[in-house]
């Protein structure tokens, strides 16, 4: 559900976030409690999720400020969305999902099992679900509209889409951010398996980190002491919801392309617990 704000005009709703134009030329970005999986927005939402994502993104922006500027202008937002919204710069966004992978899982594993590569990057034989890669790789994807599916593409594809200078810059920034965050997470007992980033440009051409960053929605977080290649990893992210949807318990057939069933109360509660654990373990703060 979107909310009306005096002096702000609703311009877009994604799977999780709602954007509003503000009178001063910026954007009000509101993180909802909605949760999505397999390109569907699920019911019900996860209580406090919007605030958790916002607080975690702001914390990470601080950890990364020497690597790349971010889009945050202010956290002084209307009371109705305080804690789960920010005022941010209006940028020209790149039409690319910038993904860094340090471990093999998810769609990367599917691509690897079929071709021995991920987004055109050849990988050694014999890797399994959860394997640590020899080095982190940049595996971009196309941005999809709500209800559509992001498609993995090669670096050469985005080279053609946005030009070599921008493509090289996004790859280098994505891998630098992943390297910094992976080290931070590992020191706190968490494996950062992969993460998805979005960037835009200011009118002067400066590349800016935007949207959310290193949250349980955009990243895979695994407890380091339970990491075991060759199995589905325990996680602090929405993979828990995906796993339930794919289980016999849900009764949902992914191939049916129909709306998944409502999430049971215990799955909602356990998902919230995982998001809070990720936030608290990474930031050292109490939610």
| pLDDT at 2 > cutoff 70 | no
Task: For 243-254, write each residue's pLDDT tens digit.
Answer: 999 999 999 999
Residue 82 CA: distances (Å) to CA of 26, 30, 35, 48, 49:
17, 9, 19, 12, 13
Task: For 148-184, write each residue's pLDDT tens digit.
Answer: 567 899 999 999 999 999 999 999 999 999 999 999 9
Whole-angstrom distance, CA of residue 79 vs CA of residue 76: 9
| Same domain (yes/no): 142, 129 | yes
Provide the domain limits for residue 250: 92-258
| Same domain (yes/no): 101, 215 | yes
138: domain CATH number is 3.30.470.20
Task: For 39-85, write each residue's pLDDT tens digit.
Answer: 899 999 999 999 999 999 999 999 999 999 999 999 999 898 999 99
| Same domain (yes/no): 82, 104 | no
41: domain CATH number is 3.30.200.20
Question: Given this model, what pLDDT does residue 107 score?
Answer: 92
Question: Given this model, what pLDDT does residue 189 score?
Answer: 97
Give the pLDDT band of residue 106 (cuts 50, 70, 90).
very high
| pLDDT at 3 > cutoff 70 | no
| Same domain (yes/no): 117, 190 | yes
pTM of the model: 0.93
| Same domain (yes/no): 12, 32 | yes
Task: For 12-44, write each residue's pLDDT tens digit.
Answer: 998 899 999 999 999 999 999 999 999 899 999
């Amino acid at each position: 559900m979107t909310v009306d704000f005096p002096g702000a005009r609703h311009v877009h709703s994604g799977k999780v976030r709602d954007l509003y134009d503000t009178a001063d030329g910026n954007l009000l970005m509101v993180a909802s409690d909605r949760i999505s999986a397999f390109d569907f927005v699920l019911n019900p939402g996860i209580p406090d999720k919007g605030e958790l994502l916002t607080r975690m993104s702001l914390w990470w922006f601080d950890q990364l400020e020497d690597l790349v500027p971010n889009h945050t202008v202010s956290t002084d937002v209307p009371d109705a969305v305080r804690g789960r919204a920010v005022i941010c710069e209006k940028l020209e966004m790149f039409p690319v999902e910038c993904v860094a992978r340090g471990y093999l899982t998810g769609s990367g594993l599917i691509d690897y099992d079929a071709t021995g590569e991920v987004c055109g990057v050849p990988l050694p034989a014999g890797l399994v679900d959860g394997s640590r890669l020899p080095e982190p790789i940049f595996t971009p994807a196309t941005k999809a509209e709500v209800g559509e599916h992001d498609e993995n593409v090669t670096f050469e594809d985005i080279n053609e889409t946005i030009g070599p200078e921008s493509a090289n810059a996004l790859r280098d920034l994505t891998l630098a951010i992943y390297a910094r965050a992976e080290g931070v997470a590992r020191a706190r007992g968490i494996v950062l398996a992969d993460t998805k980033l979005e960037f835009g440009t200011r009118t002067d051409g400066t590349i800016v980190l935007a949207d959310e960053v290193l949250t349980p929605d955009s990243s895979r977080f695994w407890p380091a002491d339970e990491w075991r290649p060759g199995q589905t990893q325990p996680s602090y992210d929405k993979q828990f919801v995906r796993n339930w949807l794919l289980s016999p318990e849900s009764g949902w057939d992914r191939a049916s392309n129909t709306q998944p069933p409502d999430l049971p109360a215990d799955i909602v509660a356990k998902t919230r617990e995982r998001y809070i654990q990720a936030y608290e373990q990474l930031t050292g703060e109490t939610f």
